[in-house]
Structure 1
């Protein structure tokens, strides 16, 4: 019973909000527009002896709540602007560390070679014939790659019904990194029930087996009770394999293995892994309880998708980025994150039940509670390159409709992660029950609860409150609206306008950051001779990007509030969602996307 009640907390909050609105807006029944259709209640005229005089308890609660909702929304834009501005500066610093080069003459081999200072002897980095890279444009490596201390990066690439080309391109990008041959272990986390999973895995292993330190495949078995097909189950299965491979190091407590989980279409810069190495040894005393996350950037095909889809993905990226400002108590990973294998083993690995469908946030929460709130989230200021969802239809309105439908399915899967609110509630109650001195009275815990409320409650609540406010003002003459209620409507309208202006300022900063990262990524791809990764530049004066500045509230409603309502109401009768992979685009070698 407790499990059902806690998983339905967002749904119960909607019911509570509906009851509050019903009580607070009872006088709307007196509207002349509704007379004759609905019974009119008898209401005693209020006496105006103070700002709250004449208001019922429900109306007072509504005024306070609607103002707090809008203040929080405006605060989000301020926090986001701060995060983007600092991320922009930190990304520049990452690139400057790369440019602090040390000359390293190469013998001009027929295939590229990188000398890495580590315990292992220098080893060549050779890509498969179809993806041979030409690295001799730069005959140096970064200062932070010249280190005696190294990490093994166990990279989990979960995929379920993903396109083969998408996986090949992702592996090509990873194989182009200087550390790939000596430090990267790839784990292709497949789903057994996928008909061609074994064929795909065999092809990828044979193609890329010489590009990495090692490459493994795992197949999550079908039909296990309590588990679902999808990213979380695939990652859990692959993680168990990693622990088996490194069991000896784990037992000896000398395991320098970093596990990175990424989406099948994610392209990571070599700077991502270099920064993790730097942060890991810079904070070595806290390394065993650190989790690393990075911002995500949709810079591959955003010029080809409808404005609503582009704006929805912008808002999704902004949600994670807004938690990555300096001094934050905790950051929420989105799609990509890393943590030490020792920490993953300590917390019992990844969950694979239906409540873990939001696998990135769920793992952060699990680490948080298993360490009694002592987890440390560190931001890696090397953004992950992502694709917007796409459609198989070639042109016209059908492509637009199909892409929007695919984006809604993806949004529903994201919002299904509201189950994590129930998970956090159960774990919090457990600690309050069994621990006399609970660390969850720490400000970090309240910050975490605030982020969960922002992710799983705010979108739907704000939309509902706005709609009812508009309806109330439309149906009620201004002379009959209580002055304090009218004040609340005015304040919230001002806050919405300021939030709109603030989000446009965030888009302005975002375009600088987008260009900085895209230029660097395309330079890396050109040097690696990988031309089919996609490139979508944002030119602010183009009409399609000017539209973004006014469309994001609509996109936030269609792909934020609506799927949240869909998900949390569905949780009253089920916690299972059929995991459907969104279609990703295929890029030609000539795809430069200058639009």
Structure 2
């Protein structure tokens, strides 16, 4: 859709006008309409302060649930570790029905080849000690990638291959781009490397010349999902049992995520109207990037976690999320045009509106460990993060998409299970039930908050009060642009009090952020120590609190500026270029694979012994 035709819709003007008006009102407000401007600032800052306090509370709730989930997991690990450490009577039936744990039974002297074979067939970390019933679903992991290092992809897939049920219940869909040189050879190498370690391994190549499509993660995922699902159905997989998980090439997905996913689906009234979303976490290379980049991703992670604690299930996924094949088919998979660049949020919105508000988010309180953008050189790394921020905020297209759909009556699926039409897997549009107005208003508010606050808060928070102070109370009388007799703060006690309240509120605005960072510091250490099994020296230290000194620069450079530009560019006819974030990866694939697993097992054995002793 061209910019000219797009701008005929009033909803398309919201995103560009909001930041432009916020910039215009900074100098003009105190000069032309100071009374109304004071009310505007008071309302904006009060609402902003309320939302930030609310976010701190929700973030704290999410952090407690994450820690509780990890604590429950570790209790299971300790229980299984102790059970397996106890001498067991030799019953052939028992030994045949239970998988042995090499991290507890491994013989260091390797007396027999049989022991070596067992060692290489099991997980190489503490997760291997978790025994639970087989999954009820086939989990298809869609991994979109373009020119990603092959070693990084192997590491990501290896993590999934190490899960207990990978060989029987996992499918890998490598969503590759045909514009990448030798993509097919690369895909086949990966398929051969992981031969027989998954139930299915499918490689798709997304053409770069499909009419109407825009390059990006969304179109890559859409092509991979359509063709990957078609291949699974061709192989005889029941569509009602397939759960699609979209992830990033650098995402480390633990087995606990799949377990909690299964649990949420099992307890759902209708699992095919759920979109399941975990929190994101950055702890893989965070100490190899500039502090400003690290802090930006910390606040990004905290916002995602806060978003998950929504009692109505109206929260957006970020980066990694899961949904059923039934739901993907119901909404005709992912959109692929330029307005769907924010693929995760856009897919949630599409599912919500296409099902007349029946779709809800089920939070999965298992952190997905991601990689910070990283390049060689300090300034190069900062620039790479800025480029990534611009791409993220191009998702502002969802503002218009949400407003248009919120005020359009949809015919959609009836209030019934998608399983009613088992022959095709699709529910027919048989009713005209519509989204409730409360849900519409909530979703609109959340979308506006996600995209309009970043585009306005930086300007207003940093400049509104100082600029108004300068214009209405200049340091030199020669600079006065407003007659003191026309200054409402000097002529009215009411506006003088209102001005004082505005200044007090601006002083209070940073405190919710301080609360968020305090909660995050505790959570980061907890995840590193209790879930990732890192030592104290490998996690955040007190000296890392100095990172937060870069927050003002990071907020302006990676939030306010790119979000404002993304909003204004909605007026342009030029399609935004999609640039993949650069991530350094030290390829260790040349190491002997079996020796590497053995060393890793021994390291994790020591960590498990410490955990059991505790």
TM-score calculated relative to the size of structure 1: 0.80
- 1:273 matched residue in structure 2: 258
Match 2:518 to one of 480, 494, 508: 508
Q: Is the 8 A contact 1:315 1:552 kept in 2?
A: no
Answering whether residue 483 of structure 2 is matched by residue 473 of structure 1, we say no
Between 474-483 and 157-166, the greater mean CA deviation after superposition = 474-483
Going from structure 1 to structure 2, the CA distance change for 1:71 and 1:475 (only over 3 Å counts) comes to same
**Residue equivalent to 2:450:** 455
CA distance in 1, matches of 2:537, 2:395: 29
Contact 1:81 1:505 in 2 (8 A): no
1:292–1:377 CA contact under 8 A, matched in 2:
yes
Whether the 8 Å CA contact 1:157–1:189 is kept in 2: the answer is: yes
**Displacement after TM superposition at 1:469 (Å):** 2.3
Mean Cα deviation higher: 567-576 or 74-83? 74-83
Given candidates 198, 201, 215, the residue that maps to 2:184 is 198
CA distance in 2, matches of 1:244, 1:136: 33
Q: Which of the pair is proportionally richer in helix?
A: 2
Which residue number corresponds to residue 15 of structure 1?
A: 20
**Paired residues of 2:168 and 2:199 also in contact (CA < 8 A):** yes
1:390 CA drift (Å): 0.6
Aligned-residue Cα RMSD (Å) equals 3.5
1:80 to 42, 45, 59: 59
Cα deviations by residue, 1:558-584 (Å, 9 ceiling, x for unpaired): 101110011111110136221111111
Deviation at 1:486, TM superposition (A): 5.0
Q: Which residue of the partner structure matches residue 152 of structure 2?
A: 166
Correspondence 1:136-535 to 2 at 5 A: 141-143=129-131, 145-147=132-134, 150-247=136-233, 255-283=240-268, 285-325=269-309, 327-391=311-375, 393=376, 399-431=377-409, 438-442=434-438, 444-466=439-461, 467-477=463-473, 480=487, 482=489, 484=494, 486-523=496-533
Distance 1:369 1:135 in 2: 41
Structure 1: how far apart are the matches of 2:327 and 2:433? 24
How far did residue 491 of structure 1 move?
3.6
**Whole-angstrom CA distance in 1 between matches of 2:459 and 2:178:** 42
Query: Quick one: structure 1 residues 330 and 101, their matched pair in 2 at CA, closer, same or farther if it must change by over 3 Å?
Result: farther
8 Å CA contact 2:331, 2:354 repeated in 1:
yes
| Closer, same or farther: CA 328–400 of 1 in aligned 2, 3 Å | farther
Contact preservation (8 Å) 2:528, 2:539: no
The offset of 1:219, in angstroms, is: 0.7
Q: Which residue of 2 aligns with 1:561?
A: 560
**Quick check: 1:323–1:331 contact (8 Å CA) kept in 2?**
yes
Structure 1 residues 72 and 115 mapped into 2: Cα distance closer, same or farther (>3 Å)? same
Q: Distance in 2 between matches of 1:381 and 1:446?
A: 26
Deviations along 1:75-124, whole A, 9 cap, x unmatched?
A: 333433333334333443344455554957899xxxxx9968xxxxxxxx
1:124 aligns to what? none
Q: Which secondary structure state, in structure 2, belongs to the residue aligned with residue 571 of structure 1?
A: helix
Q: Which runs of 5+ in 2 are unaligned?
A: 91-95, 100-116, 413-430, 475-483, 589-595, 604-614
How far apart in 2 are the matches of 1:138 and 1:382? 16
Give the TM-score, by structure 2 length. 0.78
Q: 1:549 to 1:58 in 2, by over 3 A?
A: closer
Give yes or no for contact 1:154–1:257 (8 Å, CA) kept in 2: yes
Aligned-residue offset at 1:484: 4.9
Q: 1:541 maps to which residue?
A: 542
The structure 2 residue matched to 1:67, chosen from 40, 46, 61, is 46
Q: Is the 8 A contact 2:357 2:435 kept in 1?
A: yes
Structure 1 pair 139–563 and aligned structure 2 pair: CA distance change class (3 A): closer
Q: 1:185 to 1:492 in 2, by over 3 A?
A: farther
Distance 1:587 1:490, change over 3 A: farther
**1:412–1:215 Cα change, 3 Å:** same
CA distance, structure 1, for counterparts of residue 71 and residue 449 of structure 2: 30
Q: Offset of 1:274 from its aligned partner?
A: 0.8
Separation of aligned partners in 2, 1:423 and 1:139: 41
| Equivalent-residue separation in structure 2 for 1:114 and 1:412 (angstroms) | 53
1:98 & 1:366 partners in 2: Cα distance? 39
Q: 1:304 to 1:337 in 2, by over 3 A?
A: same
Contact 1:389/1:582 (CA < 8 Å) preserved in 2? yes
- Is 2:356–2:410's contact at 8 Å kept on the other side of the alignment? no
Question: Structure 1 residues 176 and 422 mapped into 2: Cα distance closer, same or farther (>3 Å)?
Answer: same
The C-alpha deviation readout for 1:385-419, integer Å capped at 9, x for no partner, is 0111111x2xxxxx110000000000000000011
Looking at structure 1, the residues matched to 246 and 558 of structure 2 have their Cα atoms a distance apart, in angstroms, of 25
Determine which of 3, 6, 12 is the counterpart of 2:6: 3
